A and B are shown apart, each in its own frame.
Chain A
């Protein structure tokens, strides 16, 4: 339980699961940061993206194509949801949240009707085969790839947020919606755009994630719960918080399940509860 190979493997297990959690939570936290609504359909977007990605990956054997198609398809779905539904209740917190719950049910049930109830995982042909081998340590390339994707997406999101005009508008929108719209920015379309990006990120994590955990009925609730825990721990609306929260939970989960198995049921929630006690706004959240 304390041999170097075991420790290294567990660290990679935790990091790669954390990477998946980050991909999953980043879209949710971005949407929340700007629009102040918790999009409870986020898990259903993950599920839809996962299924679409799997279909494309099975047909073509090309993971990149699968990811792109899934992101576009779910992005379009998110666009329709935002423009066709959410717009009509904008600014009313309760109807907004309830509407996203409704969307979750509809999307999840449609997925069950279309894709069936079997658990589905990324076919070997589209996955990244083989394992890395360093000394006695063997680790699958695919999970290292997941870590890589999370790092790239994380850096890209941070750069867009801090270095570009779009990022500036979004940050301004987070701070003060009235002023930014008075300055001639159509904040409505910024909201729509961010919602679509959030959906596309969910689809990305769904497709990539299907190589780690299978997509099946019920996955929408499970991943939504993970995402909520991560963004509450990291601080609502903060990308940095989502990254730190995801890695923390991934590592704690991996090691606690090995060393203190009696706590296996709480490893996801205990860190969140502790942080909430001492920093109610989360690690990187801003008290409002």
Chain B
């Protein structure tokens, strides 16, 4: 009685295994024959780069973003920004059609890498854009550079992408490194006459880099950071940290989050303790983005933050971008993630318009060599590590025509990623951590 089902189970297992084998066999026997043919074609293409014959007319883009999982909102925004540009301007530039394949990595570096391999090997894309999170971005950049495929980063902030791991195939197109974007915040805070500061950042690479940027900007200009607090990812109730900020009693508090719920959750505790009128505060990009403004409403009017994106900047290109996004997305105003995707698309378009179809490291070199005068992020050039040198804005939440916007109240032009050092000196130091803040 007992042996029969077992036998049948073993049998069916055997059948399944056999089926799987036969199903795989033709595929795997086909595979070895196909790639040589294709790689031959590809290498032909590379050697004959000056006269691109086969691929003329299409730039195939693989776009990796976490559109499911915990970072789904940010990931979807990054995709929306990219698509928005092509919807407005059409996906044909200078005779080149831009084709996009979107892949979801769910914010997991292993999946990112698998998707990057799939895009490069089976879809044969010319360029990989994304992904979003620092660890996924570093993993994909390492792979794409090893196979000679350009990799554009609309949002990822990890310092090393354009520092210790910089290469000719990787460009940070739409964002800034974590320390770079926050360094001017420290400079500004010191300029305001604040002598002491306390910081609160998330306890992982993005937070260490953000806090390090602020701290060095502040201390190089005569301020002193008297206490630094670190909260674990996943913190929801910030009251205990707000009490510590208050107890530290510094002239200004600097607070960073990586976007999403921590921004409103921190503000809820901060406002609850009545600190808005007594404790000067500077937030980073993502803790005061549009999601926070939508959640908190007029309660956050007047709050200051530092970012390379300011949706309230008075410039025609920003107004046009905001209006186009609002029209398609229920009147919402775009966040830094949308802006990053859009900026990356506009850079690709401008390079195609000026150079025709360029691929490989030539695409990266072309982006890096171009000056983007009218970028929605402000005038942007690139350093020799393919990192943007562009403005950073000190922003204030203001109500403009019934909408809450981050309006720039001070602009730091042409901010580079070296925090006042020379590149070799900066990269010889250890990576930022709780222990090393520069």
What is the interface of chain A, defined by CB distance below 8 A to chain B?
1, 3, 5-6, 9-10, 13-14, 16-17, 117-121, 123-124, 131, 138-140, 142-143, 211-214, 216-219, 222, 253-255, 257-258, 261, 264-265
The answer, among A6, A14, A139, A143, for a CB contact under 8 Å with B247, is A6
The total number of A-B Cβ pairs within 8 Å is 97
> Can you show 6 pairs from A to B with CB atoms below 8 A apart?
A6-B247, A9-B273, A16-B239, A117-B73, A216-B260, A216-B261
Asked if B291 is at the interface of the complex by the 8 Å CB criterion, the answer is yes
- CB pair A217 B72 closer than 8 Å: yes
A206 → chain B, closest Cβ, in Å? 13
Q: Which residues of A contact B299 (CB under 8 A)?
A: 124
**Nearest CB to that of A216 among chain B residues?**
B261
CB of B230 within 8 Å of the partner chain: yes
Contact B265 A142 (CB under 8 A): no
On whether the beta carbons of A214 and B261 are closer than 8 Å, the reply is: yes
Q: When A214-B268, A258-B244, A264-B231 are in contact, do A143 and B260 touch as well, CB less than 8 Å?
A: no
- B contact residues around A219 at 8 Å (CB): 261
Shortest Cβ distance from residue B243 to the other chain A in the assembled complex, whole angstroms: 5
Distance to closest chain A CB from B315 (angstroms)? 26
Q: Mark contacts of B204-244 with chain A using CB atoms, 8 A cut-off: 1 yes-contact digit, 0 otherwise.
A: 00000000000000000000000001111010110111011
Shortest Cβ distance from B69 into chain A, in angstroms? 9
Residues of B74-100 contacting chain A, CB below 8 A: 76
Choose from A13, A123, A138, A214 the contact partner of B265 (Cβ within 8 Å): A214
Inter-chain contact B261/A131, CB cutoff 8 Å: no
Question: Is B295 an interface position by the 8 A CB rule?
Answer: yes
Question: With A118-B291, A118-B294, A257-B240 as given contacts, are A222 and B247 in contact (CB-CB < 8 Å)?
Answer: no
CB distance from A48 to the nearest CB of B (A): 17
Interface secondary structure of B, over-half rule = helix
Question: Quick one: which of A123, A213, A258 has the most chain B CB within 10 A?
Answer: A213
Among residues of B, the one whose C-beta sits closest to the C-beta of A213 is B236
Residue in B203, B230, B246, B273 whose Cβ sees the most chain A Cβ within 10 Å: B273
Interchain CB contact under 8 A, B239 and A143? yes
Contact B273 A121 (CB under 8 A): no
Cα distance, A209 to B5, chains bound together (Å) = 53
Q: Are B203 and A218 in contact (CB under 8 A)?
A: no
Find the B residue at minimum CB distance from A21: B237
Say how far B240's CB is from chain A's closest CB, in angstroms. Answer: 5
CB of B240 within 8 A of CB of A253, answer yes
Interface contact A261-B272, CB-CB below 8 Å: no
Partner of B70, one of A139, A142, A218, A257: A218
**Residues of chain A within 8 A of B295, CB atoms compared:** 118-121, 214
Mask for B282-308, Cβ within 8 A of A = 1, else 0?
000000000110111111000000000
- With beta carbons under 8 angstroms apart, the residue of A5, A218, A254 that contacts B239 is A254
B402 part of interface (Cβ distance < 8 Å): no
* Interface of chain B residues 351 through 375 with chain A (CB within 8 A): none
* Residues from chain B with Cβ under 8 Å of A124 in the complex: 297-299
Please name the residue on chain B nearest to A142 by beta carbon: B272
Residue on A nearest B260 in the bound complex, by CB: A119
Taking the complex as formed, is B62 at the interface, i.e. its CB lies under 8 A from any CB of chain A?
Answer: no
- Are A258 and B268 within 8 A (Cβ)? no
Task: Return the CB mask of B155-193 against A: 1 if under 8 Å, else 0.
Answer: 000000000000000000000000000000000000000
The answer to whether B272 touches A10 (Cβ under 8 A) is no
B264 close to chain A: CB less than 8 A: yes
Interface residue? B274 (CB, 8 A): yes
CB distance from B92 to the nearest CB of A (A): 32
Contact between A214 and B264, CB atoms less than 8 A apart:
yes
Q: Enumerate the 7 nearest inter-chain pairs by beta-carbon distance, A residue then B residue, closest first.
A: A140-B272, A117-B73, A119-B261, A213-B236, A13-B239, A254-B240, A6-B247
Docked Cα-Cα span, A142 to B298, in Å, equals 18
Judge whether A264 and B291 touch: CB under 8 Å.
no
